[in-house]
Amino acid sequence: MKKLISNNWQWIIIFFLPFVFQSCYISRALYYQTAGIYDYKIFPYRTIAASESPIALKQSVHYNQKNLSSEYFQEFMKYKTTAFLVLKDDSLIFEQYWNNGGPNVISNSFSMAKSITGLLIGFAIQDGKIKSVDQYACEYLPEFNSACKKHIRIKDLLTMSSGLTWDESYFNPFSKTTRAYYGRNLYKQMMNLRVMQTPGYTFRYLSCNTQILGLLLSEALNKNISEYTYEKLWNPIGAEHAALWSIDRKNGYEKAYCCFYATARDFAKIGLFVLHEGKVNGKQILNEKYIKESTSPAKNLTDNEGNSVDFYGYQWWLLNYKNMNITLAWGLYGQFIIIIPEKQMVIVRLGHKSTRQTIGHYTADLYRYIDAAFDLVP
């Protein structure tokens, strides 16, 4: 009997192996099993050089004078936090690293990269490479000039209302998101998508929207988006370290929906850039109007339950907490850039895990990071 079972398994393996290896992304997904914050080690990438004029974050006179309470510390360790930074009035109040994190350690943004891609669209409009968010994607991507897809605007992609088919599953080795992460032809995958809902009406969080924005940018700019990121964002904000952006294959396209690697301090500088509505040291780098549009809710949309969308803008998440309007870049496993204009605060949290418990649209640990930061401010 044991021999019969063994033989059956051999035949099953022999039958399925060609399909697995024909889809290389599946074999890679099964091998690596889960994504990680140091996955730049397993993918090709482009390097975004440190700024020619790096700007060191200022330290407050209160820098690290207060410690996390034991309650917060236990929670931070439970979710394997690697970095936690709190800035107020442009100065570091608190900065700590754990679990092999450090000021020089680069970490995966995951979906925080979506917010960066959203900013790049603003720069491209400012530079005249894109006319406006009301342009149709098919003006840059001819494959979208079909019956349904030709009605998708850049704004629909920015606000997650394209109506495209997609499976936003991070832990299914056969999902479209897994294929985008481990696959080697993002352009083909995105161009083959179909429309399932009328664009511009319903919010559905889909990573494909941001990836299409990345492809569209590359076509509009006639250059890769890593190069553009350096010119327009990374160099002007005074990034102290090189960043990396994973690409689907050698000389391929950036994974615009994820996979931007940087240090916690340089992520904080993106937060300061948005906090100051596109300014760096008082100089306007990106149009203030676009920043305000990006961080305003897309209330013309409804979610799947028919509620007005008051929690998302142009690739930025929005939260009202304790009567404060908060802007977020949010990535898998609780990567956060948290911007609180009312308090002139920026919070960065990086780490390996997050809770599965949710409060509203967000994981419950987000609220703890905000509360912990408030507790640290004198």
Contact call for residues 107 and 335 (beta carbons, < 8 A): yes
Quote the pLDDT of residue 12: 41
Q: How far is 72 from 331, CA to CA, in rounded Å?
A: 21
31 phi, psi to nearest 5 deg = -70, -50
Mean per-residue pLDDT, 22-30: 55
Q: Is the pLDDT of residue 98 over 50?
A: yes
Q: Is the pLDDT of residue 9 over 80?
A: no
As a residue count, the chain comes to: 378
Q: Which of 10-14, 84-88, 155-159, 190-194 has the lowest mean pLDDT?
A: 10-14
Sequential DSSP letters for 96-116: EE-TT--TT--EE-TTHHHHH
Mean per-residue pLDDT, 352-357: 96
pLDDT confidence tier of residue 158, bands split at 50, 70 and 90: very high
Q: Which residue has the higher pLDDT, 129 or 10?
A: 129
Q: What's the chain's average pLDDT?
A: 92
Sequential DSSP letters for 254-283: B-TTS-EEE-HHHHHHHHHHHHTTTEETTE
Q: How many helices (H) and strands (E) does the chain have?
A: 12, 15
Q: Which of 111-115, 147-151, 251-255, 339-343 has the lowest mean pLDDT?
A: 147-151
Structure tokens belonging to residue 241? 């370290």
Quote the pLDDT of residue 30: 54
| DSSP state, residue 232 | I
Quote the pLDDT of residue 172: 79
- Give the percent of the chain with pLDDT over 70: 91
- pLDDT per residue as tens digits for the range 264-307: 999 999 999 999 999 999 999 999 999 999 999 999 999 989 99
Mean per-residue pLDDT, 24-36: 63
Quote the pLDDT of residue 173: 76
pLDDT confidence tier of residue 27, bands split at 50, 70 and 90: low
Q: What is the pTM of this model?
A: 0.92
Contact call for residues 186 and 215 (beta carbons, < 8 A): yes
- pLDDT per residue as tens digits for the range 205-249: 999 999 999 999 999 999 999 999 999 999 999 999 999 999 999
pLDDT confidence tier of residue 174, bands split at 50, 70 and 90: confident
Structure tokens belonging to residue 20? 């697995």
Q: Is the pLDDT of residue 6 over 80?
A: no
Q: How far is 258 from 264, CA to CA, in rounded Å?
A: 16
- Give the percent of the chain with pLDDT over 90: 85
3-state secondary structure of 77: helix
The distance from CA 259 to its chain's CA centroid, rounded to whole angstroms, is 7
Quote the pLDDT of residue 320: 98
In SS3 terms, 299-354 reads as CCCECCCCCECCCECCCCEEEEECCEEEEEEEECCCEEEEEEHHHCEEEEEEECCC
- pLDDT per residue as tens digits for the range 323-336: 999 999 999 999 99
Q: Is the pLDDT of residue 129 over 80?
A: yes
All domains in the chain, ordered by first residue: 44-376 (3.40.710.10)
